[in-house]
Amino acid sequence: MSVLTASNPRAKGQTLILMVGVLLLVSLLLFAVTDMGKHARRQWYLQSVADNASYSAAVAMSRQMNFLALTNRALIGNQVAIAQWVGLASYLAMLDRTADNLEAVTSFIPYLGQITRALSTIIARIEEGFEQVVKTLIRFQSAVIQGISAAQRLLDASFAIELPLLIQDIVSKHSEELSWEAYQGGGIAPFPSLWWRKTEVRNTKNKNESKELEELTLKSLDPFSKSRGYDWVNVFTHKIVKRGGTELSRNRNGGWDWHALDSVSLHGRRWFIGSFKEQLPLGWGAKAQDQRRYHRSNYGGAFRSNSMSSRMALAQMGSFKLEPSSFDYMGLREFSQFGDNTVLISVQNNDEQAAHAKAVVKFSRAKSIFPRKDGKVESENLFNALWEPQLVPLSTLDKGVLIGRYKL
């Protein structure tokens, strides 16, 4: 009994020491778990800030490209409008000449001569007033073209400054204690050093450089401007054939000069059989924005069908004497640099804890919504506003570069 009684205090003391050790270990584990939870919450917060900043930067970048695409389309639209005005003026000139010729032929016929004389006078007055309207509209469209070109250059240059300010504003809205860095090209080049090199200013003075814009403009012409050909009258032996169209030329300064020609002639069959041939020119008219033309062009097949009346129209072509100026527009560089359409943002707090996020700006044309007639996949360009932002995971190269800078 004495031995057992003497050993109890020692056993209780050992148990107490063991319990203290266990409690200490549990406390340390609790503190560790709590610290890990705080670290995870801070990491989640930093990742949210990085995602927000990178995606917002990509949204701004996509809006920049879409703005340039829309304004390029606006440049095309204004050129098409000028082509329409010149074409309408040429058409009215043809109607005026046709009415004058009709008046001369019917002047000796009672009543009919009076009607054709009145018709000729009305058309002449309409044409005279319309020419003044066309001059005003061409001046207006030309001013709009120069204004759009200036807006493109200004916006493109300003984005090199605005993008870093946008990222700074987004990060500072979350916390003033956070710092950030932005990169491109696999995390090597500082942002936006590659992005502002993705686009370039092109000018119509360079024919090869602006060939794509010219081709798209000609494809965008309305049917009236491309070819306004049809038959006014078509009977078995005779028909009155109308042909005309609008063409584009360049002046010495790179300005786009529109000119149009319209003609109408009487065609007939010989001995009531065979093909139709031009027999009598009935009317003609031609207008140029600036420089008169002295050489044949297509003009909607005018010279092929109405050779006589088209030659007269070309010889008497009128001019609005409005010299067009060359203009700038924005295009993509032929050789894109690696990672020039990406932005990688790293956000860091005072404890040197960091998070990283990457976004990309992609050109995407949905086949189900905007299918191409030729069925081809459309490459990135600045003529369709189909640029969109997207968050993407870091690549192996990105991670490799960032390992040397941050604790990943």
pLDDT in tens, 43-57: 888 999 999 999 999
For residue 112, the number of C-alpha atoms closer than 13 Å in the C-beta half-sphere is 8
Percentage of the chain with pLDDT > 90?
Answer: 62
- Give the H/E segment covering residue 331: strand 328-332
Q: What is the mean pLDDT of residues 263-286?
A: 90
pLDDT of residue 4: 45
CA–CA separation, 338 and 342 (whole Å): 9
Question: Do you find a cis peptide bond into 324, omega within 30 degrees of 0?
Answer: no
| Chain centroid to CA 164 | 24
Q: Where are the chain's structural domains?
A: 41-201+336-408, 205-326
Q: Is residue 40 over pLDDT 80? A: no
Statement: residue 360 has pLDDT above 50 = yes
Q: Three-class SS of residue 257?
A: strand
Residue 190 pLDDT > 60:
yes
Chain segment 288-314, per-residue pLDDT in tens: 999 999 888 899 999 999 999 999 999
3-state secondary structure of 267: strand
Residue 56 identity: S
Long-range contacts (CB closer than 8 Å, 24 or more residues apart) made by 138-145 = 138/82, 138/85, 138/86, 138/289, 138/320, 138/322, 139/322, 141/78, 141/79, 141/81, 141/82, 141/85, 142/82, 142/322, 142/324, 142/325, 144/74, 144/78, 145/75, 145/78, 145/79, 145/327
Please give the pLDDT value at position 306: 95
Q: What is the DSSP string of 180-209?
A: EEEEETTTTEETTTTGGGSEEEEETTSTTT
Between 28 and 252, name the one with better pLDDT.
252
pLDDT tens string 73-94: 999 999 999 999 999 999 999 9
For residue 111, the model assigns a pLDDT of 87
